[in-house]
């Protein structure tokens, strides 16, 4: 298996972790906004996804740029890593409930092909 596909497996696994966390705590921004553990769990996974996305080969990122915007994926890693607790909960939540399911589906599709 290529290094890019190995990274996609890990990205998919972190997407799954986010979805499991949301299922555990509930799909409620109000709960998310009040629970630091919930926030940290999701944020850590987003950070890891960004790190892995940044390590995909330039060729892979370019070939799949019509499906996934890898630049913003990597940028989220930097935002989470360097905001030191001041990251907007709205942005984290929106990423978790809107972007992560799309990214997970993409990874699953690529891993099956």
Distance CA 16, CA 95 (A): 14
- Region 57-77: mean pLDDT is 94
Distance CA 35, CA 46 (A): 17
* Residue 83: per-residue pLDDT: 73
Q: Where are the alpha helices (DSSP H) in 2-97?
A: 3-25, 29-34, 36-54, 58-63, 70-82, 89-94
For the chain, give the mean pLDDT: 93
| 80 — pLDDT class (breaks 50, 70, 90) | confident
Specify the pTM: 0.92
* Residue 44: per-residue pLDDT: 94
- Region 4-24: mean pLDDT is 98
DSSP secondary structure letters along 54-74: HTS-HHHHHHTTTT--HHHHH
The two structure tokens encoding residue 35: 């629970």
Chain Cα centroid distance, residue 22: 13
């Amino acid at each position: 298996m290529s290094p890019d596909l190995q990274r996609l497996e890990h990205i998919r696994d972190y997407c799954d972790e986010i979805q499991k966390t949301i299922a555990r705590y509930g799909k409620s921004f109000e709960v998310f906004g009040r629970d630091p553990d919930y926030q940290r769990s999701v944020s850590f996974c987003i950070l890891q996804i960004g790190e892995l996305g940044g390590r995909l080969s330039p060729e892979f990122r370019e070939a799949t740029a019509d499906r996934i915007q890898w630049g913003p994926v990597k940028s989220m890693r930097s935002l989470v890593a360097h905001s030191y607790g001041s990251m907007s909960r709205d942005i984290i939540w929106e990423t978790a409930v809107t972007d992560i399911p799309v990214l997970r589906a993409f990874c699953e599709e690529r891993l099956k092909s």
